[in-house]
């Protein structure tokens, strides 16, 4: 198991970001929802037990569907509060888009230390003392202003209302709580879902990849400093419009946004949940700049990206819909009948991620 495989599999199989069901018994909510459904005039199509990008619900007396997602971006707000709050909001919006919905409104919650207390913002924020010379000391209130501005600017770019939220100044931890909940309206009759559906489907990526965002490496203990992803406002808007245009073609079989662990997680989770495999050529991924290593392309957390699975005969239709909105797009691989995701860069194998983690991962 090489270093990048270790980081990716730690994110997919160990860290709770991708394994919430290890901490929360979703069957409790499933039983509750089944009981509520007996008398509810609404209908839950995708709930928490589905472990998908967002929930999907049919409101009473409405033929359409709504999608909803709550996203936290707490730790990244220590070194980079403005960008991390914006990408937290943008990530929740992409999760809603991934189900086939246009984001409409957002609620946020911020928890922090008392507003007059000092906080350290920057690469050394978790240590409480700056040794890099790049950090800023500010009040908790000034950091809240940055967080609010990040959320506001993303919502303004995406055309999403901020309709409410909450603030608590009773937190004592270094890490603030930064949570965004997004509600959207479906643009198709049925929700898209994350699991891979068909062997032979082609993988299409929307958006360009950079080397920003090393959260997965940091959490696996393979990076000394957390480097959160940069907020990409205009690109986020373009990707959303392109994704919705592609979804409206009715040709998307499975969909996921690219966030934590990037291409690696989006592909590996999809095929694991679908009981299939994948073969990806990372050299085909559109890049924001030259010189990125295959490992960076695989695991970086650049924002404003989506991943589609499409029948071979529908690839041109989907790519044309995306390009019609001005977004970068490329076919990068296919779904296979194996039980693993294989990531190549041309002829070089970069990583292989099985459906079951190797025992050595936990040693």
CA–CA separation, 85 vs 321, rounded Å? 30
End-to-end alpha-carbon separation of the chain, Å? Answer: 13
pLDDT in tens, 122-159: 999 999 999 999 999 999 999 999 999 999 999 999 99
pLDDT, mean of residues 19-42: 92
pLDDT in tens, 164-209: 999 999 999 999 999 999 999 999 999 999 999 999 999 999 999 9
Q: Does position 361 have pLDDT exceeding 80, yes or no?
A: no
CA–CA separation, 241 vs 244, rounded Å? 5
| Band (103; pLDDT cuts 50, 70, 90) | very high
**Which CATH fold topology does 41-190 show?**
60s Ribosomal Protein L30; Chain: A; (3.30.1330)
| Band (21; pLDDT cuts 50, 70, 90) | confident
**How much of the chain exceeds pLDDT 70, in percent?**
99
Strands, E assignment, the chain: 43-46, 55-58, 66-72, 101-111, 118-121, 136-139, 161-168, 177-186, 202-206, 252-257, 277-281, 306-310, 329-336, 340-345, 348-354
Site of tokens 């694991």: 272
Instruction: State the CATH class of domain 194-363.
Output: alpha beta
CA–CA separation, 159 vs 103, rounded Å? 8
Q: What is the pLDDT of residue 362?
A: 66
- The alpha carbon of 55 is separated from its chain's Cα centroid by a whole number of angstroms, namely 14
Annotated domain spans of the chain: 41-190, 194-363
Q: pTM for the full model?
A: 0.95
Q: What is the pLDDT of residue 82?
A: 98
Tokens at 183, concatenated: 């509600």
Arithmetic mean of pLDDT over the chain: 94
Q: What size, in residues, is the chain?
A: 363
């Amino acid at each position: 198991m090489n270093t990048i495989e270790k980081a990716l599999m730690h994110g997919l199989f160990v860290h709770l970001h991708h394994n919430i069901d290890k901490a929360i018994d979703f069957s409790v909510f499933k039983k509750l929802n089944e009981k509520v459904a007996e008398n509810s005039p609404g209908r839950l199509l995708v709930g928490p037990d589905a472990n998908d990008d967002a929930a999907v619900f049919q409101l009473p007396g409405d033929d359409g569907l709504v999608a909803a997602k709550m996203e936290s971006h707490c730790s990244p707000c220590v070194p980079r509060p403005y960008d991390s709050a914006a990408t937290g909001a943008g990530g929740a919006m992409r999760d809603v888009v991934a189900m086939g919905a246009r984001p409409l409104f957002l609620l946020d919650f911020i928890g922090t230390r008392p507003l007059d207390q000092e906080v350290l913002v920057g690469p050394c924020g978790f240590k409480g003392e700056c040794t890099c010379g790049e950090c800023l000391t500010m009040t908790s209130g000034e950091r809240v202003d940055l967080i609010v501005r990040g959320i506001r600017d993303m919502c303004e770019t995406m055309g999403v209302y901020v309709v409410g939220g909450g603030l608590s100044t009773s937190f004592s931890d270094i890490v603030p709580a930064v949570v965004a909940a997004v509600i959207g309206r479906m643009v198709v009759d049925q929700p898209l879902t994350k699991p891979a559906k068909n062997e032979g489907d082609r993988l299409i990526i929307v958006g360009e990849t950079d080397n920003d965002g090393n959260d997965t490496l940091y959490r696996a203990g393979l990076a000394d400093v957390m480097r959160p992803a940069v907020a990409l406002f205009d690109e986020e808007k373009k990707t959303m419009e392109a994704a919705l245009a592609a979804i409206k073609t009715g040709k998307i079989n499975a969909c996921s946004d690219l966030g934590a662990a990037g291409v690696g997680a989006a592909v590996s989770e999809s095929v694991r949940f679908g009981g299939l495999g994948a073969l990806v050529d990372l050299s085909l991924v559109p890049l924001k700049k030259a010189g990125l290593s295959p490992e960076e392309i695989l695991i970086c957390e650049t924002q404003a990206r989506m991943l589609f699975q499409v029948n071979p005969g529908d690839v041109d239709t989907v790519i044309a819909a995306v390009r019609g909105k001005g977004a970068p797009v490329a076919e990068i691989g296919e779904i296979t009948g194996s039980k693993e995701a294989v990531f190549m860069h041309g002829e070089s194998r970069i990583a292989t991620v099985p459906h079951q983690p190797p025992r050595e991962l936990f040693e």
